[in-house]
Each structure stands twice: as structure tokens, then as C-alpha cells.
């Protein structure tokens, strides 16, 4: 198996998990797209993109973007895109995917940019466990 462009990143296995779930459950990911307001999400995306800017992370982002786009178009790709961007930009945010969605939502409402980006993914991934 050929390693992905993000294989060397600390959150690589979680990016793979999101992509696999996105391919399997596109409708569930579409349903989570509007979990955060556009203005809030846009600010968080800008901050994460700035945090992820270096050659290795940019290459990983470009490859992950292509993988997300190939997996799903429409509303679903936005939720996955935001989560993957957070996982590339912030090495320490993975714990949020295992938290209760209500907790992640609360952190997002308090301005935590990682939580804003990961809240829709948290909802989508935890629906599989419900």
C-alpha cells in the first residue's frame, strides 16, 4: 500500500478514519454540515489554515483535500474538510472526536477553533456508536 501524503503527521490514522467513514456514510456527514455557523466556521478555517502553513502540511492538506473531494461532494465534503484541516493544523486536538458532542459544541461556542472545526465530525462519527 502506498503511504498517503499525510502518513507522517501525528493525526494520520484519524484522517484516514474520517475519510473511510465519509465514504461509507456520506449522508450522515451531509447532515452535520450546518452544525456551526458559517461566520464562526470561516474564522476557524482561516486560523487552522494559517497554523498548517508549511511545506509538509500544505502537501498533506492538498492530498487530503483531493481524497475528501473524491469521497463526497456537496455538504458532506465540507464537514470532513474542516475536520481534516483541524487534524493537520493542530496535533493535539484528536481528543475532541471522542468527547460528547455537547461538550465539543460548548467549547466551540466559547471560541475554541479546534472544536468549531471538529464538532460536525464528532456528530457524524459518534452516530455510528449510537
pTM equals: 0.81
Per-residue pLDDT tens over the stretch 89-114: 999 999 999 999 999 999 999 999 99
Taking CA atoms, 23 is separated from 16, 50, 61, 63, 90, in Å, by 11, 28, 18, 16, 24
Q: What angle do CA 75, 80, 31 make, to 5 degrees?
A: 40
Residue 34 has pLDDT above 50, yes or no: yes
Residue 55 has pLDDT above 80, yes or no: no
Amino acid at each position: 500500500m502506498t503511504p498517503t501524503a499525510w502518513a507522517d503527521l501525528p493525526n494520520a490514522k484519524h484522517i484516514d478514519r474520517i475519510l473511510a467513514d465519509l465514504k461509507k456514510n456520506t449522508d450522515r456527514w451531509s447532515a452535520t454540515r450546518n452544525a456551526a455557523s458559517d461566520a464562526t466556521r470561516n474564522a476557524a478555517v482561516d486560523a487552522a489554515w494559517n497554523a498548517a502553513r508549511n511545506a509538509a502540511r500544505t502537501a498533506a492538506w492538498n492530498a487530503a483535500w483531493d481524497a475528501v473531494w473524491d469521497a463526497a461532494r456537496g455538504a458532506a465534503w465540507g464537514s470532513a474538510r474542516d475536520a481534516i484541516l483541524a487534524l493537520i493544523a493542530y496535533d493535539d486536538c484528536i481528543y475532541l472526536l471522542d468527547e460528547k458532542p455537547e461538550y465539543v459544541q460548548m467549547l466551540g461556542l466559547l471560541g475554541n477553533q479546534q472544536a468549531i472545526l471538529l464538532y460536525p465530525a464528532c456528530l457524524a462519527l459518534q452516530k455510528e456508536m449510537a
